[in-house]
Structure 1
């Protein structure tokens, strides 16, 4: 039996994550997940890929705000859920451009000082509908400021298998999933096509290509060679290193730790098959 074992959100893109026991699924992902984003002077998103120190910002959910703590010096700032400014502007995430709303001058100044580079914080208002890639998702599927899709699913067995191949085991936070499940074989998520969790239908749409961000220790911001060095030996396909499955969905509801995952259909397309380690069964 497959069951949800962990739930995570990352309210400000590329900053620390928050573990939850229960999460509201919205039209663009888990509630609060990547609804905020830091941008540079050109309105382009900032990422740990170029600024590893972003890992050192930890986030807590409070009643009506995000509490962001910079662990290097212990200072913190509270970001109200409702932006204090009304200014809208076009922001860029990879090849996408969508509308973001500036949050506050105070937040901009604080992040600029802590990061040592010009930075502004933007929020994605409900009116912004950022479409996902139509090659892999149905019309009307939208995402937050996440890289490309509404959610990411990883099996605990997959990480356990990877860790057996590493000299030093890694925590799940290197891979920044939204939903982690226990049970099944390593990489069984690769083949999940249509799944149902707590009455919510979800669809595996694309295996997740991994980047240098997985090599950044989320506690120290130090970069290493792993896990990409090891993953490249057995999880490479079409010059991409793959780990985890991107999800899309067309309904909302609640997800809880302990929820059963029912696999209703599996992928048969070649793009979901990776070598000998791809599981032949998702149950």
Structure 2
């Protein structure tokens, strides 16, 4: 087995960015979900509510991001507190985040058609994953719950055999995609090693309506896929399951093509 694809999502719920290597850190991949859009009350906004968010591109640059919307681009700097701070809400978490330049938030708001503010998780920001699943003191970014998300190419292929047109991997917002395993074999992997770095599974990932948003068009699919098909064979007590959440047990770099070894099932 080996790593076939790697993704980061610099701004939560915005476009996925395919990368050739990934710096593994405790909080999550370097530059993954450290930025987030919030509404006027400071509550997080995602593609579940605002589907066009997936059309907003972001790529990390030194001490900032390069944003893209259609043919437009903009470079922005990581805020250092000069624009103030805001207590923001991500599910049940409260996070002290740094506000980005208001001009950037206005630029984004105009393109997405909603009043939004861009915030950044800097060195002062703290957020912790569920200790029941991840263990005590496990930091996490603005990701929904856990630092890493992984699934297998074969699981995607098995699902897409039921769907026309097929759904791309990006619709599931993964960090790591693995090739060479049986469909959904990752469900049973408790610990694994990718290259030289070990990971531990926290729980299977429960899927929501965000998976029905076309990553290219920024619109929900009218046929309700892939949830419609997944409910037929991946429905569990908690909901529709696809992929697994992970925490890293060590740090370093993983790359496309790195071997994947199951350590504990």
Does the alignment reach a TM-score above 0.5? yes
Tell me the equivalent position of 1:260.
259
The answer (yes or no) to whether the contact 1:13–1:38 under 8 Å persists in 2 is: yes
Q: Distance in 1 between matches of 2:237 and 2:133?
A: 17
Task: Give the SS at the match of 1:203.
Answer: strand
Task: Give the SS at the match of 1:143.
Answer: coil
Tell me the equivalent position of 1:12.
11
Structure 2 residue 254 is the aligned partner of structure 1 residue 229: no
1:159 Cα offset (Å)? 0.2
Tell me the equivalent position of 1:214.
211
Task: Give the SS at the match of 1:135.
Answer: helix
The answer (yes or no) to whether the contact 2:42–2:87 under 8 Å persists in 1 is: yes
Tell me the equivalent position of 1:40.
39
The alignment's TM-score, normalised by the length of structure 1, stands at 0.89
The answer (yes or no) to whether the contact 1:14–1:48 under 8 Å persists in 2 is: yes
Q: Distance in 2 between matches of 1:185 and 1:153?
A: 14
The answer (yes or no) to whether the contact 1:141–1:249 under 8 Å persists in 2 is: no
How many residues are paired up? 263
Cα distance change of structure 1 residues 167 and 10 upon mapping to structure 2, 3 Å threshold = same
Q: Aligned match of 1:201 in 193, 198, 209? A: 198
Task: Give the SS at the match of 2:204.
Answer: strand
Tell me the equivalent position of 2:248.
249
Further displaced range: 198-207 or 81-90: 81-90
The alignment's TM-score, normalised by the length of structure 2, stands at 0.95
Tell me the equivalent position of 2:114.
117
Structure 2 residue 100 is the aligned partner of structure 1 residue 103: yes
1:256 Cα offset (Å)? 0.5
The answer (yes or no) to whether the contact 1:83–1:123 under 8 Å persists in 2 is: no
The answer (yes or no) to whether the contact 1:83–1:104 under 8 Å persists in 2 is: no
Question: Residue deviations 1:166-221, cap 9 Å, x none?
Answer: 13211111101000010010001111101112221210111001111100101111
Q: Distance in 2 between matches of 1:117 and 1:84?
A: 24
Q: Distance in 1 between matches of 2:79 and 2:262?
A: 38
Tell me the equivalent position of 2:90.
93
Instruction: Give the gaps of 5 or more residues in structure 2.
Output: none
The answer (yes or no) to whether the contact 2:131–2:137 under 8 Å persists in 1 is: no
Further displaced range: 102-111 or 4-13: 102-111
1:7 Cα offset (Å)? 0.6
Task: Give the SS at the match of 2:211.
Answer: helix
Q: Distance in 2 between matches of 1:211 and 1:258?
A: 30
Tell me the equivalent position of 1:189.
186
What is the root-mean-square deviation of aligned Cα atoms in Å? Answer: 1.4
1:53 Cα offset (Å)? 1.0
